[in-house]
Amino acid sequence: MEISEGTQSRKCLNCDKAIETDASFCKYCGQKTRGVSLDFKTLISDLWTSIFNLDNTFFRSLKMMWAPWKLTRYYVEGKRKSFLNPVRLFLICLLLHFGVLTSIATFDNRFLGTGNEYTKLERSKLFEKHIHLLNNYERANPDVCDYADTLNKVLFENTDVLHNQKLNFLENTTFYNRKYDITLQDAIELEPEQLFKKYNITEWWEKLLIKQVIRFNLDKAGALKYAMQNIAWGVIPVIFLLALIFKLMYIRQKRFYAEHLVFLMNVHSVSFLFVTVFIALTALIQGNVDLPGYLFLSVMALFYVSMYKYYGQGYLKTFAKYIIAGFSYLLLVLVFLLIAGLISLVLY
């Protein structure tokens, strides 16, 4: 409805649309119709509103997401302005979950048994120089021989010359009847192309395989962090495929595919948030995180209750479909874990 000239006296400062004199908000963009003056109180109020209010959709979604069957039902029934978009809510919880996991999880090469190859190589070089200097000094001063063994033991105990030592993870490794006896020194010091030329590695798949295997084994902590990032995004296609399985399981209810997708995203959102809060609080209080079995049982129970409440079938029929969904979910996760691992190995 157009605003008559009798009631039109000003324009919205945000969208420049005409607004009525007694209107508190612009009906086009929703901004308040207050004056243009800006004081500190107004600045803080706008900040609070933009971060925490979100037209109350955030708090309303946070309150209802603990009952994902209700949140899904409200959204399907058309109450979409009152809640956050389920895709947005899911992505927020997903990124929060894996962000907390990455920050808390211990990815340390010292505990993974890698990362000390560089130290071993540097100590080996020093030891080799020490032996060379000591031999020259012994020829000029024979009396120093009595102290050489003691000096070696104090400075270079358990240190060997690694000039020709092969990489443990590639030693005696064979691909298509080809052995790769690459030394530790060459793996660390040579550029990939120099390494390929020295060991006559010509095929593109050989180059990729050797380069990535060396990088992974020399820095397992970095590789695992990279793999976890890929696993996080691998959850998304798992849910899309699982929604297709739900579509087939509940085909008689004639629900849209998107409805099953929204349901699964809401269940995953609350599961991610629940586990994330538990991990964060445990790390804050105890300093270390041990995931107890009852935590996973709680998530599994939530999944079953949500299916029972939302789809409205009996306990036994819901349980049978819950088992099918569980095995399908496990299979999909394993497949995408393998895919994420291969992607990480190729691209890391």
* Tokens 């995203």 -> residue: 265
| Six-digit token string for 222 | 């970095």
Amino acid at 8: Q
Structure confidence at residue 121 (pLDDT): 63
Q: Is 301 a domain residue? A: yes
SS3 of residue 191 by DSSP: coil
| Same domain as 120, residue 105 | no
> Is 53 part of any domain?
no
Residue 35 resides in a domain: yes
Q: Is residue 205 part of a domain?
A: no
Domain limits for position 1: 1-44
pLDDT of 48 reads 61
In a domain, 324, yes or no: yes
In a domain? residue 273: yes
What pLDDT, on the 0 to 100 scale, is given for residue 271?
92
Closest CA to 90 of 111, 112, 75: 75
Q: Residue 169 has what pLDDT?
A: 55
pLDDT at site 6: 43
Report DSSP letters for 129-146, one per residue.
Answer: HHHHHHHHHHHH-GGGHH
For 32-69, the pLDDT digits (tens) are 766 555 556 666 666 565 555 555 677 778 888 889 99
pLDDT at 308: 95
Helix (H) or strand (E) holding 175, with range, is: strand 174-175
CA dist 238 to 9, 43, 234, 321, 341, Å? 55, 44, 7, 17, 15
Same domain, 305 and 340: yes
Same-domain status, 17 and 124: no
Residue 68 sits in the same domain as residue 139: no
- Residue pair 69/306 in contact (Cβ under 8 Å)? The answer is yes
Does residue 92 share a domain with residue 3?
no
Q: Residue 210 region, left (φ>0) first, then alpha (ψ -120 to 50), else beta? A: alpha
The CA distances from residue 55 to 30, 47, 147, in Å, are: 10, 13, 80
Q: What is the dihedral of CA 149, 151, 153, 155, to 10 degrees?
A: -150
Are residues 277 and 332 both part of a single domain?
yes
Domain end position, chosen among 139, 161, 183: 161
pLDDT at 262: 92
User: What region, left, alpha or beta, does residue 309 occupy, with left being phi > 0 and alpha being psi -120 to 50 degrees?
Assistant: alpha
Tokens 């389920």 found at: 86
Please check whether residues 137 and 99 belong to one and the same domain.
Answer: no
In terms of domains, do 37 and 78 share one?
Answer: no
30 and 125 co-located in one domain? no
Measured distance CA(150)–CA(168) in Å, rounded: 30
Q: Tell me the whole-structure pTM to 2 decimals.
A: 0.62
How far apart CA 132 and CA 144 sit, in angstroms, is 14
In a domain, 235, yes or no: yes
Same domain, yes or no, for 293 and 335? yes
Residues 38 and 84 occupy one common structural domain: no
What total number of domains does the chain contain?
Answer: 3
Q: Answer yes or no: are the C-beta atoms of 166 and 183 closer than 8 Å.
A: yes
Instruction: Examine the domain organization and report whether 236 and 338 are in the same domain.
Output: yes
Q: Identify whether 170 is part of a domain.
A: no
Regions of the chain with pLDDT less than 70: 1-9, 30, 33-56, 105-128, 130-178, 217, 219-229, 287-291, 344-348
Q: Report the Cα 331 to chain-centroid distance in Å.
A: 20
